[in-house]
Every structure is written in structure tokens, then in C-alpha cells.
Amino acid sequence: MGEYSKALSSYERSLEIRKIALPPNHPDLATSYNNIGMVYDEMGEYSKALSSYERSLEIRKIALTPNHPDFAQSYSNIGSVYDNMGEYSKALSLYERSLEIDKKAVPPNHPDLASSYNNIAVVCNNMGEYSKALQYYEKAQEIWKKSLPSNHPHIALVKNNIADNSQIIDDEQEDENLSDHNNDSSLSKINMTYIKASGTDGAKEHT
């Protein structure tokens, strides 16, 4: 917690200096608010993080062109807070907005694009949408393999996430198949009971 306090103090001093030296809607002020938001997010102070991130976004809307990559960062960071708060639908919407901006703002194999796919995968996973999460993890992996060194931790992490999700999907399918089998077995037993009771060649019909 001590390191967070130091970082927060440093970013707040930087913000105060920039407020004096720069116009009120300068992009550097947005960066300062964003940095402060990141620290609050790490500290688990989500309301303060949201406030700082949203102030950063307000300035960027005035200072930057509509598809500037910094918008992708803003929407992603706000989405991260909602994800941490368990508000997954809001998080997903913001992550998807971040992805759409990244698609326009950066090259197709840029690491930031992979990060957007990964963020969507994470929130889909949190929502229990494992197949959808797997698709986005695989997209992230494909880009990171092209854009990052082979020993980069992102590649190892997404590989593990893909393996975990694949196992969950396999387990769910196995449970579903077992359930279907049990239902079939129960139906067969019911039919046999009706056959024995009615003395006919088929199951007794309900009238």
C-alpha cells in the first residue's frame, strides 16, 4: 500500500503542476487523471478510480480526434473498474467500444488490439460465457504471437487461459452428455414399466 501512496502523491503533484502550466483541456491533463485512476483501481478504490478515468475521458473528448487510440485506453480502463466491481455487462460494453476504436486506430497485429480481445475474453469468462471467451482468447493469442517475443508473459498467460477454458467447455459437454444419457436411461425404464404393466408391445399411451 505504501508504494501506491507514493505513486498517487507523485501523480497528484504532476497534475497540480500541469493545471497551472497547461490549458484546461490539454491532453497531458487527461494523462494525469488517467494515471491517478490507475492507482486508485489497483488500490481497490473503484469510485475514485471511475471519477478520475471519467475526467480523463471528458478532456480527451474535447482535445483529441474521435478515433484516437487514447480513447481505447479510457474505455478499457473504465471497463476494468466495472469488471472488478462485478458489473460485467457494463464492462463488456466498454471493452467492445475500446476494441472498435483499436481496430481503426492501430495496425491489425498491434499488441493493444490483442489486449482488447483479451479483456473481452476475461469478462466473458467472468459471465460464464466460456465458448465466447475462448474465441477472444484465441484472437489475442494469434496477435501476441506475431507481435511479442515468444517468452513474453502475455503469451504464456493467454495459453493457460485457453487451456483452462477448453477444459471447462469439455467438462460442460461431458456433463451434458451424461445428463442426456441418464434421461434416455430413465425414459427406457419408464417405457419398460409401461410395457410390463400393459402387456403390449409398446409403451402404454396416455389418453
Q: What is the pLDDT of residues 29-59, one digit of tens each?
A: 999 999 999 999 999 999 999 999 999 999 9
Give the pLDDT score at 187: 54
Residue 155 included in any domain: no
For the chain, the straight-line distance linking the first and the last C-alpha, in angstroms and rounded, comes to 72
The yes-or-no verdict on residue 185 having pLDDT over 80 is no
* Radius of gyration from C-alpha coordinates of the chain: 26
Which pLDDT score, from 0 to 100, does residue 183 have?
59
Q: Kindly give, in sequence order, each residue whose CB lies less than 8 Å from that of residue 175, ignoring residues fewer than 6 positions away.
A: none
pLDDT tens across 125-147, in order?
Answer: 999 999 999 999 999 999 999 99
Q: Is 28 part of a structural domain of the chain?
A: yes
Flag whether 16 is in a domain.
yes
Answer whether residue 110 is part of any domain: no
Rounded average pLDDT over 69-91: 97
- Residue 2 CB-density burial (10 A; 0-12 exposed, 13-18 middle, 19+ buried): exposed
Domain range for 46 is: 1-64
How many domains in the chain? 1
Asked whether the predicted pLDDT for residue 186 surpasses 90, the reply is no
- Residue 42, domain member (yes or no): yes
List the CATH number of the domain containing 24: 1.25.40
206: in domain: no
d(CA 87, CA 80) in angstroms, rounded, equals 10
Residue 36 within a domain: yes
Band (83; pLDDT cuts 50, 70, 90): very high
Query: Does residue 207 register a pLDDT over 80?
Result: no
CA 15 to chain centre: 29
pTM over 0.85: no
